[in-house]
Amino acid sequence: MTTMKLVFISLLLLSTAPYASLALRTQLHSLSESSNSKNYLTTQELWFNQTLDHFSPFDHHKFPQRYYEFLDYFRISDGPIFLEICGESSCNGIVNDYISVLAKKFGAAVVALEHRYYGRSLPFKSTTTENLRFLSSKQALFDLAVFRQYYQESLNLKLNRTSVENPWFVFGGSYAGALSAWFRLKFPHLTCGSLASSAVVLAIHNFTEFDQQIGESAGAECKATLQETTQLVEERLASNKQAVKTLFDAAELEIDGDFLYFLADAAVIAFQYGNPDIVCSTLVKAKNNGDDLVEAYAKYVKEYYLGTFGSSVQTYNQKYLKDTSLNKHTGDRLWWFQVCTEVAYFQVAPANDSIRSSKVDARYHLDLCKNVFGEGIYPEVDATNIYYGGTNISGSKIVFANGSQDPWRHASKQTSSPDMPSFLISCHNCGHCTDIRGCPQTPLSLEGNARNCSSPEAVEKVRHQITEKMDLWLSECRAGSWSSIFSKSSTNSNRSLTTKELWFNQTLDHYSPFDHHKFQQRYYEFLDYFRVPDGPIFLKICGESSCDGIANDYIGVLAKKFGAAVVSLEHRYYGKSSPFKSTTTENLRYLSSKQALFDLAVFRQYYQESLNLKLNRTGVENPWFVFGVSYSGALSAWFRLKFPHLTCGSLASSAVVLAVYNYTEFDQQIGESAGAECKAALQETTQLVEERLASNKKAVKTLFDAAELEIDGDFLYFLADAAATAFQYGNPDKLCSPLVQAKKDGEDLVEAYAKYVKEDYVGSFGVSVQTYDQRHLKDTTLNENTGDRLWWFQVCTEVAYFQVAPANDSIRSSQVDTRYHLDLCKKVFGEGIYPEVDKTNIYYGGTNIAGSKIVFTNGSQDPWRHASKQISSPDMPSFVMSCHNCGHGTDMRGCPQSPFNIEGNARNCGSPDAVEKMFSSSSMKCIARMIVILSSLEPKCVANGSYDQTCFIYSPNVTFSLNATANYNEEQEELKLLTSSTSPDVNLLYCRSVSGL
């Protein structure tokens, strides 16, 4: 990573391949040819097939990706697996650096994956801008997740075992250090922790701190000499540019900005990689002797930067960067593409007291991006920082290590916390990735030897701290034992807090490096209960239907209680938030949960800024809490998982977080909820319907007013859903009572069931038979029922949830099987459309989701609860309600859910006490947990203020700032918050169940 030119190249410094800087790549290239080289643990190449576009709902193309493994130190029974992340250069083996020392200590296997596009992991035969559309950190992180699963399975196969999960720990330096931190952030279920060495997690447009650090590290005398040298070079460029460029062997750099960038990097590299005296001694001596400073600097550049260090002048030539052919220097163009589309890191001259030329400014960088890659190519820095959190990254179990002289540390996390410790190594020649590579980093220091550092004890202290964290987190990992949802909206104003539409411009494809298209997305806000200025903001997530307002359900009660603003964003494609005028399969390529989550992140930032503008303030961050039910409940949990820096916590009601291919548990739960008598009646009804379909299908379909359903599978699915909905939405007696009575009276069960379907399912509940007709699902025009096609697309590409008949004791017809669902997907959307369930569960973790501060609630009769998280943990409490008619989203919507219950009334539930317990004992735990979260546990969510005495008992009008832990007494329904408040009036706060909660 010298400067932007792949100064990141420093990566070589860290893990696998000679991921030094691009410059180092040249130096170490020959070493990779020999597997016996002492600089590598291994250079034996291995390959596997990687998905090309992880964010396309239907593109299944693959490319071969290179990786390496080293098992010499592996403790086979329970040893960890160290995943060394390769960065922005060719990955030619696993480097013998300090990670090998750690591997030996912990008995670890070491694996390293080459970054897509770099080295030999090439998806295309040329690097045109169009061909680079799948080159991004977001795709690379998903590569690591897929590889992690692939390698664990292949290792199990090699060791003749099944389902074993070794503890995994990830390592990376520089850009790969950022990937290491981001991997732990986005895929916490796949790793026990992360070492992020010199990790550049903050994307920056104008990175002036870079040069400021060079000046600070250089010291006054060397800094002044460097500045004078730059000034002299600029003067000679003005009078005879050919002569001065030739002096540096850089005549090929026709653009002055390229030449001046080259000279700036040459100085930077000395400080970045632990050799400050090489440049400073040379220049200061020349200055003191009255020698020509430009000539002295040219000597240093040619002998050290181009010679010993191995950099190439060509790297800085924009003509060369335009070359789209594949060659050993292709990495230069690739890294610039990532710089120009994602992270920037534009090392520009500060306004005052700069070392580099002021001509190396933001305009130079933006012109380079446009000149090399074409119009419309620029870095969306804000989007990158929204996605990852920048230095406010909110992962856990990540160690950040930085050298005190490293200019890149200002793009890293330097503020420590228990979950994310950060260390600075203070010594004269401790720079980029010193914790892993030792001092100096050229020539390569085997096993990261620290003896050549000016303060070896400083390096060893940091290494000891890193080892302590690894030991703790790996032990915790082992102890932790690794081993239809369609909703209908109503615009009836008395059922809504608001129906006033608001709009903003949303990015169409969040995962494209260069597509900046926008579309109009609808949202709503309700501010009547908002406590200005510090009230929380409740983000109510809309799901797979038109979002026509903010419903007046139990979230309204909570909003009033907490003084919260309520906002709600319509899901992309649904309702009026349609990016296209038709829903062809091709046009649906941006419809996915992954895009929808990023929508929420962008909206969250947009709304916070617009609220600040409305309140005439700047930089204020209100506490945010997210809510969702069913699919949107999954989105709520996944949002907290993937964007923890943007929310204090999440309520995931009936959240279907597990993608399931053959969801037989769905029907099994229907049978259990129905009870023996009703279940038997339902099974007999299904059998009778199948018999009549065989003899006179038109008659039986007409009986159900469903003659339009020509495909028998569609008809049988319609009948199965009609039964399931009664249990799912809290109306079991409406189905079971008439059906059981008909059986007892000897009446025709099929006719009795048809009466229920027509009167209740189609009539009261409002379902349309057309929803089940595959001909209707093929309709690509926009209309009020378009949501049916849209949700099936998500089902057919991401989550499946195929409700199929169990092999035995099924209620639904056995004809509603996997083949039926797959045929539907193919007929409606075309060849190659099927759900990659494993990929979805790798991305989110399924029921092993490893987010924090997420509350999962489920009804005990809800057939969807088996796709939700039901096992509780301190970080992710999960509750199941036990009552006769408690089903899907009962905690938010009450009973029954049809007709709609304003404010989620629980009095009609079979066991109101079970629901109230969710909002008293269990719920007070949840709500008090929310208060703790909103008040203290997130750095961005610290709130100063006093709360309503009905919830908190304390001296009136006391203002406090919580830094709390919580003890909960189940019997007394009391949560005690132990605070570190210095106020004598506020030492113990209590939260009790309150009538009306």
Per annotation, catalytic residue among 37, 100, 121, 174: 174
Residue with tokens 């960067």, as numbered in its chain: 321
Q: How far is CA 195 from the centre of its chain?
A: 18
Sign of CA dihedral 966, 967, 970, 971: negative
Q: Which residue, among 338, 85, 114, 347, has the nearest Cα to 196 in the 3D structure?
A: 85
**Strand ranges of the sheet holding 193-197, from the earlier edge strand across to the other edge:** 46-51, 62-70, 109-113, 81-85, 168-173, 193-197, 398-403, 422-425
Per annotation, catalytic residue among 329, 432, 510, 866: 432
Residue with tokens 């999954």, as numbered in its chain: 634
Residue 351, classified by CB atoms within 10 Å of its CB into exposed (0-12), middle (13-18) or buried (19+), is exposed
Q: How far is the C-alpha of 248 from the C-alpha of 289, rounded, in Å? A: 21
Residue 368, classified by CB atoms within 10 Å of its CB into exposed (0-12), middle (13-18) or buried (19+), is buried
Q: How far is the C-alpha of 377 from the C-alpha of 514, rounded, in Å? A: 6
Q: How far is the C-alpha of 721 from the C-alpha of 20, rounded, in Å? A: 58
Q: Which residue, among 677, 736, 996, has the nearest Cα to 885 in the 3D structure?
A: 736
Contacts of residue 117, defined as CB under 8 A and 6 or more positions apart, other chains included, come to 123, 127, 132, 134, 135, 334
Tokens of 838: 């494993």
Q: Which residue, among 32, 35, 36, 67, has the nearest Cα to 49 in the 3D structure?
A: 67
- 419 classed as catalytic: no
Q: What is the CA radius of gyration of the chain?
A: 31
Question: Residue 353 corresponds to which amino acid?
Answer: D
Q: Which residue, among 145, 200, 139, 196, has the nearest Cα to 171 in the 3D structure?
A: 196
Q: How far is the C-alpha of 603 from the C-alpha of 597, rounded, in Å? A: 10
| 260 touches 355 (CB < 8 A) | no
Q: Which residue, among 533, 522, 527, has the nearest Cα to 559 in the 3D structure?
A: 527
Specify the pairing of strand 62-70 against strand 94-95: unpaired
Tokens of 711: 């495909």
Per annotation, catalytic residue among 406, 509, 599, 773: 406
- 748 classed as catalytic: no
Q: How far is the C-alpha of 986 from the C-alpha of 450, rounded, in Å? A: 50
Q: Coil, helix or strand for 702?
A: helix
Residue with tokens 């690509």, as numbered in its chain: 780
| 3 touches 348 (CB < 8 A) | no
Residue 519, classified by CB atoms within 10 Å of its CB into exposed (0-12), middle (13-18) or buried (19+), is middle
| 57 touches 591 (CB < 8 A) | yes
Q: How far is the C-alpha of 46 from the C-alpha of 197, rounded, in Å? A: 26
Where helices occur in 800-867 by DSSP H, the ranges are: 818-829, 837-844
Q: How far is the C-alpha of 473 from the C-alpha of 481, rounded, in Å? A: 13
- 205 classed as catalytic: no
DSSP state of 785: T
Active site residues: 174, 406, 432
